[in-house]
Structure 1
Amino acid sequence: MIPLSLIDFALVYDGERPRDSFARSVHLAQRAEQLGYERIWYAEHHNMPRIASSSPAVLIAHVGAHTSTIKLGAGGVMLPNHAPLVIAEQFGALEEMYPGRIGLGLGRAPGTDQRTVQALRRSPRSAERFPEDVAELQGYLSGASRIPGVQAVPGSGTEVPLYILGSSLFGAQLAAQLGLPYAFASHFAPQHLDEAIAVYRERYQPSPQHPEPYVIAAVNVTAADTTDRAHEDFAQVRRSRVRSLAARGREISDEQLDELMGSYAGQQVSTMMRYTAIGTADKVHSYLTDFQERTGANELMISLQSPSHEAMLNAMEILSTAWQLPGAAPAR
């Protein structure tokens, strides 16, 4: 069995503060560590009221202090929003705090809307420098800075593992060129999954750290004790996703949401979740096995899609048993 990892969106539910989400993230990571999941990633999102992971480095530091062995990382940091030196210092500090547990996934999208990009004081053209910024960041972390007289302190020589994130051929080509692992965001952008992985493998240039290509493919999972419960949970998740994305933050009634569900915008949201395993342990195991065999992924990054924290924890337990993770309970 290949490793399973988790994406934690640090969701904020109705009536909550972000601190409630952070407490849940700690609980989730502690249980994932016990069950044997490989790593947890936190993604940089801005101006999204229901997602509290706008500062992955801060959240990783908090979760790291309450866990012992599970790997923690950004999935990812949107590098065009930042100076590479600052990211090297942040993740270098994390590596010094939690040696061997930190990873840094890098994306070139802003992770937000254009107005928020302006508020971040970044130019929309910053993404054009993504390859150069990745190389500059590599230099800081390896101790071979590309800018004379400038070192990342902390950060220099920590060799924090880098991963290129993507949902198109651009990221695949860059990861291949740099000899870095590649993570495809198929949990919300499934269109180019097969083509991107093929391009990555075909063009891969071995590096000292990674002589072979390494693919992480993301997939949604809604697992429950019964098939009916799993489909009911997924229906709730789908409605929530349409409400937050298609309604664009507007307060709408249930009747308006019903209309949106069948609209073009609603269907687009559903298309984003094309790769979703729904059902009991056997069904989820079968789906993920087929998905892994088709993609040849070296690791699956799981986005748990459940309507509550309790349902998410249960899904995580079911999945660990289905995949025979080292800390899972014996199958019933």
Structure 2
Amino acid sequence: MKLSVLDQSVGCAGRPQDESIRNTVALAGHCEALGYERFWLSEHHSLPTIVGTAPEVLMAAIAARTSRIRIGSAGVMLPHYSTFKVAEQFRVLDALAPGRIDLGVGRAPGSDQRTAMLLNPDPRASEMFPQQVRELQAWISGAEMPEGHAGRGVQALPRSATVPQLWMLGSSSYGAQLAGHFGLPYAFAHFITDGEGCAEGLELYRRTFRPGLIAQPHAAICVWALAADTEDEAWRLFATRERARIDRQTGRMGPLLPPEQAVRPYSEAEEAYRRRLRSQAMVGTGEQVVGKLRALADELGIEEVAVITWTWDPQAQRRSYELLAKAAGM
């Protein structure tokens, strides 16, 4: 089982938001030294919990500070943007880190609808997503656009000996089918759905897959996990994530709280959700969490898991990745 990382530059109470961005860059170097396969970055907008708004900019900073680990977007929310401009950006990134760039794309807004309209005022932009994926695949590979296409003869530069690896991201059957149709690698956002629909999405991807960018299906999942030196410490740290997820159920979004401030009385419905969250959580010592990740990977028939970890203390986050790497024998 290969281990990778997904980081979202979370906002933390009592800490400037710009510090979260610098912590992400530092974490990438830390995870490269630990032997992780990839370091992926998400895109969200106008959310106080997640301040990573521009993965392509962060990728450039990380590319300049690393030499081995693959760097990627998970993802670029393609309907917000010009496909051609995204192709150019990732061509530049590939020039900075040849053969190390992953271009993960998604259709979700990564924000509320009002913010999405500010990014692209076309209310039907998401309907163009399949066409955008086709165009992006052509522009990053250097293939020619078909006759009649406005971009025929236009090149996304710079050209080089390598190209970004295109990935399809998703948390529903839509992304799975599209990845299968185009023959793309596929990553399911297990951490968003708490695993719901994951097995079905992966099965649909494999069943509908036809050779395209890759010859055989290649799937990964993104899972939330947290390890600490003791199980008790891991569950103490988990209070931060637990509070954020419960608050989000009722539309309350804010920066992450320290574990000691995260605990509050919960309603009956919130308590039921809390118990379910804990029963499914990948939390414990490094050995315990890696055991759970391996069991899940075996169950789903996958060979790569990207781990996302939220903690208020960045040192606790780094320690979690250290413990997972050690337990996985990296």
TM > 0.5 between the two?
yes
Q: 2:217 aligns with which of 206, 213, 218?
A: 213
Q: How does 1:57-96 map to 2 (within 5 A)?
A: 57-96=56-95
Query: Structure 1: how far apart are the matches of 2:102 and 2:179?
Result: 15
1:152 alignment counterpart: 156
Given that 1:88 and 1:137 are in contact with CA atoms closer than 8 Å, whether structure 2 keeps it comes out as yes
* C-alpha distance in structure 1 between counterparts of 2:276 and 2:117, whole Å: 30
Deviations 1:170-218 (A, max 9, x none): 11111111111000000111211011111111121123x4211101111
Letter in 1 for 2:237: D
1:57–1:4 distance in 2 versus 1, CA, 3 Å:
same
Q: Distance in 2 between matches of 1:140 and 1:250?
A: 38
Q: What residue ranges of structure 2 are gaps of 5+ in the alignment?
A: 146-150
Q: Name the CA distance, whole Å, in 2 between partners of 1:119 and 1:220.
A: 30
Q: Secondary structure at the match of 1:88?
A: helix
CA distance, structure 2, for counterparts of residue 36 and residue 218 of structure 1: 17
Give 1:128's aligned amino acid.
E
CA distance in 2, matches of 1:250, 1:182: 30
In 2, distance between residues paired with 1:301 and 1:145? 33
Q: Tell me the residue number matched to 2:148.
A: none
**In the aligned structure 2, how far is the partner of 1:157 from the partner of 1:243?**
47
Aligned to 1:187: 191
Three-state SS of the structure 2 residue aligned to 1:188 is helix
Structure 2 counterparts to residues 49-60 of structure 1, below 5 A: 49-60=48-59
Q: Is the 8 A contact 1:188 1:273 kept in 2?
A: no
> Counterpart in 1 of 2:227?
223
* Structure-1 separation of matches of 2:112 and 2:2: 33
Shift of 1:44: 0.8
Q: 1:245 to 1:122 in 2, by over 3 A?
A: farther
From 298, 309, 314, the equivalent of 2:303 is 298
Q: Which amino acid aligns with 1:52?
A: V
Name the amino acid aligned to 1:291: L
Q: Percent identity?
A: 37
Give the counterpart letter for 1:100 in structure 2: G
Aligned-residue CA RMSD (Å): 2.5
Alpha-carbon contact 1:5-1:40 (below 8 Å) kept: yes
Hey, what's the Cα distance between the residues in 2 that align with 1:55 and 1:82? 12
Residue 143 to residue 226, structure 1, CA distance change in 2 (3 Å): same
Residues 148/236 of structure 1: CA separation in 2 closer, same or farther (3 Å cut):
closer
Q: CA deviation at 1:245?
A: 5.6
Counterpart Cα distance in 1 of 2:91 and 2:28: 21
Alpha-carbon distance change, 236 to 70 in structure 1, aligned in 2, over 3 angstroms: same
Give the secondary structure class of the aligned counterpart of 1:187: helix
Local SS of the residue matching 1:53: coil
Query: What is the rounded CA distance, in whole Å, between the counterparts of 2:316 and 2:40 in structure 1?
Result: 20
Output the CA distance in 1 between the equivalents of 2:78 and 2:303: 25
User: How many residues are aligned here?
Assistant: 321
**Corresponding residue for 1:258?**
264
CA displacement, residues 90-121 of structure 1 (integer Å, 9 cap, x when unaligned): 11110011101110101001110011012113
Choose 24-33 or 10-19, whichever is displaced more. Answer: 10-19
Specify the alignment match of 1:34 in structure 2: 33
Give a deviation string over 1:266-317, Cα, whole Å, max 9, x none.
7558767875311112211221111010011121010123331111111111
Distance 1:322 1:236 in 2: 24
Q: Post-superposition shift, 1:17?
A: 2.8
1:311 maps to which residue?
316
For CA contacts below 8 A with separation 6 or more, give which structure has more relative contact order: 2
Distance in structure 2 (CA, Å) of the matches to 1:39 and 1:231: 26
Match among 167, 172, 176 for residue 171 of structure 2: 167
Greater than 6 Å deviation, 4+ residue runs: 253-257
Q: Which residue of 1 aligns with 2:23?
A: 24
Using structure 1 for the length normalisation, give the TM-score: 0.89
Contact 1:220/1:275, CA 8 A, preserved across alignment: no
Distance 1:113 1:98, change over 3 A: same
- Write out per-residue CA displacement over residues 224-276 of structure 1, whole angstroms, 9 at most, x where no aligned residue: 1111111111123211333456352479x9999735x4354675587678753
Partner of residue 329, structure 1:
none
Mean CA deviation greater in 151-160 or 277-286: 151-160
Secondary structure of the 1:258 match is coil
Structure 2 CA distance for partners of 1:38 and 1:288, relative to 1, 3 Å: same
Contact 1:187/1:272, CA 8 A, preserved across alignment: no
| 2:113 is the alignment partner of 1:107 | no
Residue type of the partner of 1:311? A
Q: TM-score normalised to the size of structure 2? A: 0.90
